[in-house]
Amino acid sequence: MKYTDSRPSIFILYTGGTIGMVENPHTGALENFGLDRFVKLFPELHRQPYHIDYAALDHPIDSSDMEPSGWVKIAKEIVRRYDMYDGFVVLHGTDTMAYTASALSFMLENLGKPVILTGSQLPIGKLRTDGKENLLTSVEIAAARNEEGASMVPEVCIYFDSRLMRGNRTTKVNAEGFNAFRSYNYPSLAKAGISIRYEPRLIRRPDPDRPFTPHLSLDDRVMLLTLFPGIRREYVEAALLQDGLRAVVIKTYGSGNAPQKPWLRPLLAELHRRGVVVVNNTQCSQGAVEMGRYETGLQLLQAGVVNGYDSTIESSLTKLMLLLGHGFSQQEVAAQMNCSIAGEITL
């Protein structure tokens, strides 16, 4: 049921991360503190022209401890309140925020409301915190409506340091500066300055003929392998020839190239025979995989490797988990990897 209050209603879910941390006086390390203390440190939150409710996950965490089960918990919190609120803000640690945003973008199919992830590089209790601006602007974006009265940004996004980015296009790029995230292969959906400038033509809209459909099963039997000059056969075999492995993302060079080592093609053929989906993602932050461009890439195409296009690693891995969680066959997963299902690749 929706609130009768005429103000936009926003639900904030606190999952942990620096924004809600404080220094442990004994160890000097940052640790999570409770939601009540968070709200006390940030009274401005209640001076907004919105109806705001908030809750925390049972155990707020440093996002390095985030797991697929955590994405399911977050998705469930949103799904059960979906009809009650106009928009959602998820407070999350920055370290794995891009993974969570990517996973949620696939789990919340045909989303019609904003789900904005944000956090900060400095805790909310610090004078120079970036958390207040990040959170207040995220709330404003989650509440924004277009001329037709629909949500301005009905997507899973990350808002950070004045930019609103499609969640499944983001990567954490800075461990120090406030500009922690970038979306190299897709432009920002909005920029916040004195006013928030949206780019409506870049924003995905739900299909009005289909319902919002959450997906809560994920299969984590996936692996990531980064190529480098000198990579040894026995280590690659130990990592990939594992019973149960269902998909692997290989981080290749440049436009999707790999060394022409005599053992690599037979290994890829063996993985294919075992039903493993092998996806080619580039190590470059910008640009796309094009396997036919060089012989070193063509050999992968010929071995049945699937194109990762201009996807981020975060997006490829979480999309595979979702597709495998659906029980799709190797061919079906490969076919879906060649489609954009939440704006994650440019075709």
**Candidates 43-51, 92-100, 148-156, 191-199; binding stretch for ligand ASP (CB under 6 A):** 92-100
**Site for ligand ASP contains 53 (CB under 6 A):** no
- Our CA angle for 336, 342, 346, nearest 5°, is 75
Tokens 């039997």 identify what position?
Answer: 221
Q: Which residue is nearest to ligand ASP (CB)?
A: 93
Q: How far is the CB of 125 from ligand ASP (least distance, A)?
A: 14
Q: How far is the CB of 120 from ligand ASP (least distance, A)?
A: 7
Q: Which of residues 325-344 bind ligand ASP (CB under 6 A)?
A: none
**Site for ligand ASP contains 95 (CB under 6 A):** yes
Which residue in 18, 129, 171, 252 is the catalytic one?
A: 18
DSSP per position, 280-340: EEESSSSS---TTSSHHHHHHHHTTPEE-TT--HHHHHHHHHHHHHTT--HHHHHHHHTS-
**Candidates 91-99, 136-144, 163-171, 289-297; binding stretch for ligand ASP (CB under 6 A):** 91-99
Closer by beta carbon to ligand ASP, 177 or else 275: 177
Closer by beta carbon to ligand ASP, 97 or else 289: 97
Contact 93/63 with Cβ under 8 angstroms? yes
**Site for ligand ASP contains 24 (CB under 6 A):** no
Closer by beta carbon to ligand ASP, 120 or else 311: 120
Which position among 68, 93, 125, 131 is part of the footprint of ligand ASP (CB under 6 A)? 93
**Site for ligand ASP contains 64 (CB under 6 A):** yes
Query: How many residues of this chain bind ligand ASP (CB under 6 A)?
Result: 11
Half-sphere exposure of residue 130, counting CA atoms within 13 Å on the CB side? 17
Contact 247/277 with Cβ under 8 angstroms? yes
Q: How far is the CB of 27 from ligand ASP (least distance, A)?
A: 14
CA 34 and chain centroid, separation:
25
Please count the helices (runs of H) and the strands (runs of E) in the chain.
9, 18
CA 213 and chain centroid, separation:
18
Side by side, the strands of the sheet bearing 163-166 are: 51-61, 9-16, 87-91, 115-118, 156-160, 163-166, 190-192, 196-198
Distance in angstroms (rounded) separating the CA atoms of residues 286 and 254 = 10
**Site for ligand ASP contains 119 (CB under 6 A):** yes
Q: Which of residues 276-295 bind ligand ASP (CB under 6 A)?
A: none
The yes-or-no answer on residue 100 being catalytic is no
Closer by beta carbon to ligand ASP, 131 or else 325: 131
Distance in angstroms (rounded) separating the CA atoms of residues 131 and 118 = 8
Tell me phi and psi for residue 313, to 5 degrees: -65, -40
Closer by beta carbon to ligand ASP, 18 or else 252: 18
**Site for ligand ASP contains 62 (CB under 6 A):** yes
- Our CA angle for 21, 138, 346, nearest 5°, is 110
Q: How far is the CB of 128 from ligand ASP (least distance, A)?
A: 14
Q: How far is the CB of 68 from ligand ASP (least distance, A)?
A: 16
Which position among 8, 17, 60, 167 is part of the footprint of ligand ASP (CB under 6 A)? 17
Tokens 């500009």 identify what position?
Answer: 179
**Site for ligand ASP contains 15 (CB under 6 A):** no
Query: What is the bridge-based pairing of β-strands 196-198 and 87-91?
Result: unpaired
Q: How far is the CB of 282 from ligand ASP (least distance, A)?
A: 25
Closer by beta carbon to ligand ASP, 100 or else 185: 100
Cα→Cα distances 32→46, 64, 93, 124, Å: 22, 13, 10, 11
Closer by beta carbon to ligand ASP, 176 or else 234: 176
Binding residues (CB under 6 A) for ligand ASP: these are: 16-18, 62-64, 93-95, 119, 121
| Active-site annotation, residues | 18
